[in-house]
Amino acid sequence: MLRILDARTGEPVSAAPARRGLTRIEAYASGLDLTSLRVLLTADLLVRALELGGTPVWTILTAPRQRAELRTAATTLGIRPFEEGRDLASGLGEAQTLHVMEEGETTPGGGVVLTVAPVAAGAPRLQTLLADSDPSTLRLALLSVPRNTPARLDEAALDDAARTLARWRSAVARWARSPSRPVPDDVRARLREAWEDDLDLPGVLNVLRDVENGPEPADGARFETYAYADRLLALDLARDLGSLA
């Protein structure tokens, strides 16, 4: 069960409703910048994690300006579309509201609050990053930093993300040529334990590194493990399937 740290109380709470119903996620973005995009990415990961656990989700974007541009940037980064109205979910059994916002921001009303640390000053402009590189590189660079830690998207961080992404895509394409094997139970448990612990994405990435570099499992199981984890990460890790000679 996914548990997150509620910034209102400082206590971990279940992200899924206690009774069967819909969870509404509302993301707050102040403008078209990397910090706002990190907020939207966190909301996207929350949606994916809840859906993997069987919880239906309704997502809303609250943005005072540059709303259309934010939606375009989010789509480029692989973030699922947000719905258009906060009242459209009425009658669908809504049971809980989760607010995702930058540290220091406030929201009216109740619900659980997830805060996201800013992207540190000195990073390239958002438009430059999305235009000049594989957007999944930026996504991986952001996933590599705990959400409550400021993200420093300097050249070294982006280069490391690009190399890791290229290596993993090549490995996934290679592993796909082996007979399929199920995700090992212990690996599946470690992945879920990581992302269900306050969306610990660096922990998920560490599990994938262990699978990549360890003597086990078999290549077919490595492929299925990466495919399974990518349902959450959305890094298009299977992009290069069929490209190996």
CB 22 within 8 A of CB 93: yes
Residue-level pLDDT at 105: 82
pLDDT level of residue 92 (50, 70, 90 thresholds): low
Bridging pattern class, strands 112-116 and 94-102 = parallel
Tally of domains within the chain: 2
Q: Are residues 102 and 139 in the same domain?
A: no
Domain for residue 51, yes or no? Answer: yes
Q: Is the pLDDT of residue 116 over 60?
A: yes
Q: For the residues 191-219, what does the mean pLDDT come to?
A: 96
Distance CA 228, CA 190 (A): 12
Where in the sequence is the domain holding 33, given as residue range(s)? 3-118
Residues 144 and 161 sit within 8 Å (Cβ to Cβ): yes
Q: What is the pLDDT of residues 12-45, one digit of tens each?
A: 998 887 666 788 999 999 888 999 999 999 999 9
Contact 76, 127 (CB under 8 A): no
Whether the predicted pLDDT of 4 surpasses 70: yes
Amino acid letter, residue 76: T
117 dihedral zone (left: phi>0; alpha: psi -120 to 50; beta): beta
Let me know if residue 100 belongs to a domain. yes
> What pLDDT is recorded for position 115?
95
- Provide the mean pLDDT of the chain: 89
- Establish if 150 belongs to a structural domain: yes
For residue 125, the model assigns a pLDDT of 72
Query: DSSP label at 236?
Result: -
Domain shared by 68 and 167, yes or no: no
pLDDT digits 0-9 by tens, 61-89: 999 888 999 999 999 999 999 986 555 44
The answer to whether 213 and 242 are in contact (CB under 8 A) is: no
Q: How confident is the model at residue 94 (pLDDT cuts 50, 70, 90)?
A: low
| Phi, psi (rounded to 5 degrees) for 158 | -70, -40
- Domain end: 96, 118, 140, which one? 118
122/208 Cα distance (integer angstroms): 30
First to last CA, the chain: 42
Q: Are strands 112-116 and 57-62 parallel, antiparallel or unpaired?
A: unpaired
Same domain, 135 and 160: yes
Which H or E element spans position 25? strand 22-28
Does pLDDT of 117 surpass 90?
A: yes
Task: Say if CB 58 and CB 25 are below 8 A apart.
Answer: yes
Q: What's the pLDDT band for 122 if we cut at 50, 70, 90?
A: low
98 and 154 together in one domain: no
Q: How much is the pLDDT for 129?
A: 77
Same domain, 101 and 23: yes
